Amino acid sequence: EVQLVQSGAEVKKPGESLKISCKASGYSFTTYWIGWVRQMPGKGLEWMGVIYPGDSDTRYSPSFQGQVTISADKSISTAYLQRSSLKASDTAMYYCARHRLVGAFGAFDIWGQGTMVTVSS
């Protein structure tokens, strides 16, 4: 079964850093782009960026460029989203999702279950 399993919920204080994970299984991790999507409480979906684990080619939304880092570890089929100096406004659900086409872009066909991040003093 093709699936993405994300790390558990996080509670952080402002100024702390965050690294959440997305472990892929059931397919060739290195040949599909994986992306991250933010959903703030009660709001819509925001596309943050994507990575191609095969060569770590990464694309970011201008809204998130310089604010987050997307990476991948091929050896354990896991993608990561990092953010330093967290703010209360980073409180959100974060989803990872896989592009449906091998080696190319397309819709997100497989989604992780989401990781809820709460930033509060």
Partner 1 sequence: EIVMTQSPATLSVSPGERATLSCRASQSVSSDLAWYQQKPGQAPRLLIYGASTRATGIPARFSGSGSGTEFTLAISSLQSEDFAVYYCQQYDDWPHTFGQGTKLEIK
Write out the two tokens for 98.
């896989």
Region near partner 1 per CB under 8 A, out of 10-18, 19-27, 77-85, 111-119:
111-119
Nearer to partner 1, 43 or 74 (CB): 43
Of 40, 45, 76, 102, the residue at the interface with partner 1 (CB under 8 A) is: 45
Residue 121 CB, shortest distance to partner 1, in Å, is 26
The three state secondary structure string of the chain is CCEEEECCCEEECCCCCEEEEEEEECCCHHHCCEEEEEECCCCCEEEEEEEECCCCEEEECCCCCCCEEEEEEHHHCEEEEEECCCCHHHCEEEEEEEECCCCCCCCEEEECCCEEEEECC
Of 7, 27, 47, 71, the residue at the interface with partner 1 (CB under 8 A) is: 47
Is residue 95 a contact residue for partner 1 (CB under 8 A)? Answer: yes
Residue 16 CB, shortest distance to partner 1, in Å, is 25
Q: Which of residues 52-91 bind partner 1 (CB under 8 A)?
A: 59-63
The residue ranges that bind partner 1 (CB under 8 A) are: 35, 37, 44-47, 49-50, 59-63, 95, 97, 99-100, 105-109, 111-114
